[in-house]
Structure formats: C-alpha cells, structure tokens
Copies of this chain bind each other. A is one copy, B any other.
Amino acid sequence: MTNAHLLEKIQYVIDTEVISKQPNLLYDPIVYSLSQGGKRIRPLLTLMGCELFGGNVEKALYPAVGVEIFHNFTLLHDDIMDQAPIRRGQPTVYKKWNENTAILSGDAMFAMAYDFLIRTDSNFVQRIIQAFNRVAIGVCEGQQYDLDFETQDHVTISEYVNMIRLKTSVLLGGALEIGGIIGHATDSDLKHLYAFGENIGLAFQLQDDWLDAYSDVEKFGKIHGGDIAVNKKTFLYLKALELANDEQSGQLKHYFSSTNFDEKEKFNAVLSIYNDLDISQHTKSEMQKYQDIAMKSLSSVLVSEQAKQPLKTLAENLLIRQN
C-alpha cells in the first residue's frame, strides 16, 4: 500500500475511535491533541514494519494508533515540564486548559495507548507490550536526562547521544518492531528492524541540531538559532567545546551562560566559532555514521529488496541532503 493509503487508514481510526465523552474535561484535550495533525510518522512506521514482512496491516492498525496516542501523551507532559506555550501553531494543552488537565488527560492517553496496542491477535500481545514498555520507560529516562543536562555543567557527546536516543529514537525503533511482531518477523529480523529505526532517529535528531544553525532559511522556513538563543547543549555546541582552544571555549561558555545577549550578535559570534572548528562537517559526519548503521541494519533484514524500498525512501525523505 502507498504511504498515503496507510496514513488514511490511521486517520480514519483516530477520527472514529478517539472521540470525546464524559467527563469532557478529560477527553476534550485528548481529541484536541490528536486532531492537531503532525506527520504521523510513528504509526506509519508500525504499518510499514508489518508490511515489510507481508503481514496484515489491518491487524497492526490499532497498535499503530496506540503508538501515536503515546507520542502525543509525551508531548502533553513535556510541554508542562518545558513550559512550552505553542505546539503545531496552537496553544499547548496546559496553556489552553491548565496543568492539572494536561497531567490527567495525559495519564488517560497513556492508558488509552495500551488499550489500542492490545487490539490485535492475542498471541502478539505479550511481545508487543514488552517491546512497548521498554520504549515507554526509555522515553521517560531520556526526558529526565534532557532536564538534567539543562543544569549540568559538563555533558559528554556520548551522554548527549544516549539522551536523544532514549528521548526520541527508541520510539521510532519500537514503532517498527511492533509492526514487525504483527508481521510474524523472526527475532533476528526484529532486532535489525529496531536498529534501523533507532539509528534513523539519531541521524534525524542530529539533522535537527544542524538545521538550527545551518539551514537555508528560505528553503526550510525554519528560523535560525533557537537552540543557541536558549543555550541548548546540542551536538554542535558539545562538539565545539570538545575541539575548542581555551579562548574559543571561554567565549562559547560566556555566550551560553545567559539569555540576555542580543540574539543576532550571539548567533553570529557562536556560528563564527562553529565555522572555525568545522562543526557543520563534523555534524554531517556523525549523521552519516548513524545513517550508515541504519541502512546496514535494514540490509540485514531477510526480505526482498523490493519490500525494503518504501522504508528506504522514507528514510531518504526524512534525511534531506544538506551538501
């Protein structure tokens, strides 16, 4: 099936099964959150993971939506923790309602996610829940490391990569794995498929870091330097600190000690150090490393090249060329 067709099926289940009821203050924010769109990349991966092995996507449809509900649950709670007022151009749930509502509706979404995940053949259920629990606990650990790093003086690159792996990448791997389970994949193929998803996730997150400093604004419409403005310890910053001489290191730490600088001046000063240290190329190399691991993992899955093509295409579309 085409991705458009799979996305249509996902949207149909969301539209017909995620509906408001009493008590409205619990369910309205859930419908609001799920109706705001997003790329639906995670449930799509679940269906594609199932199709990769010739499985019946109908049996993966509710679990796929469960993965999407879980993802949206994490956004509700993360937005409280990060005090983020806007998401997808709309007020976040805690802003539109209040913190208690975002906590409680989020909790209900977490339970709903499990309810959708088990709506498939009963012989898949234990393995689905096992795979999903690893993901859910990993995502919580990743969010905690992310919060810790905000106030932690020294963060190594391997600590940072582990954080983004947990916070964002394990869910991509897990989404594929759950689809693979329903497609009757072997344990060995499930491992390779999971590794493909996790490493694509790492490459994608590093690309996100890169885009903040180097994207062509006209091409991507993304405003430059948001991470630099809020002193976020991204791969770029940590790599720069690793390579910097004493003077550069002092300057970087100076600029990342406050949010009161003129944004344009700060961005230009930091970018100039990044450029002196060739940070753009270092980041691209790191991205390429994870992309290569991902593609090698996919090539180890014992199905036809033709069956793998949709996942390859999706990965290529996610990882746009910057050079």
Selected from B26, B110, B125, B126, the residue in CB contact (under 8 A) with A107 is B110
Q: Does A100 contact B (CB under 8 A)?
A: yes
Q: Does A23 contact B (CB under 8 A)?
A: yes
Can you tell how many copies of this chain the complex includes? 2
Selected from B77, B110, B111, B133, the residue in CB contact (under 8 A) with A104 is B77
Residues of B within 8 A of A100 (CB): 80-81, 147
User: Interface residues of A toward B: which range?
Assistant: 35 or more
Q: Does A115 contact B (CB under 8 A)?
A: yes
**For chain A, what secondary structure do more than half of its interface residues adopt (helix, strand, loop), or is it mixed?**
helix
Q: List 17 A-B contacts (CB under 8 A).
A: A23-B141, A23-B145, A23-B148, A25-B148, A77-B103, A99-B99, A105-B140, A110-B136, A111-B136, A111-B140, A112-B133, A112-B137, A114-B133, A114-B136, A118-B129, A122-B126, A129-B129
Residues of B within 8 A of A77 (CB): 103-104, 107
Select from chain B the residue with minimum beta-carbon distance to A25.
B144
Q: Are B108 and A110 in contact (CB under 8 A)?
A: no
CB of A74, distance to nearest CB on chain B (Å): 8
Selected from B22, B103, B105, B115, the residue in CB contact (under 8 A) with A133 is B115
Q: Are A104 and B144 in contact (CB under 8 A)?
A: yes
Once A114-B114, A137-B108 are accepted as A-B contacts, the answer to whether A103 and B80 lie under 8 Å apart by CB is: yes
Q: Are B133 and A111 in contact (CB under 8 A)?
A: yes
Q: Are B81 and A103 in contact (CB under 8 A)?
A: yes
Residues of B within 8 A of A114 (CB): 114, 129, 133, 136
Select from chain B the residue with minimum beta-carbon distance to A74.
B107
Residues of B within 8 A of A137 (CB): 108, 111-112, 115
Select from chain B the residue with minimum beta-carbon distance to A133.
B115
Residues of B within 8 A of A133 (CB): 111-112, 114-115, 118
Q: Are A118 and B140 in contact (CB under 8 A)?
A: no
Residues of B within 8 A of A115 (CB): 133, 137
Contact with B along A127-148 (1 / 0, CB 8 A): 0011001001100110111011
Within 8 A of B (CB), among A5-53: 22-23, 25-26
Select from chain B the residue with minimum beta-carbon distance to A100.
B81
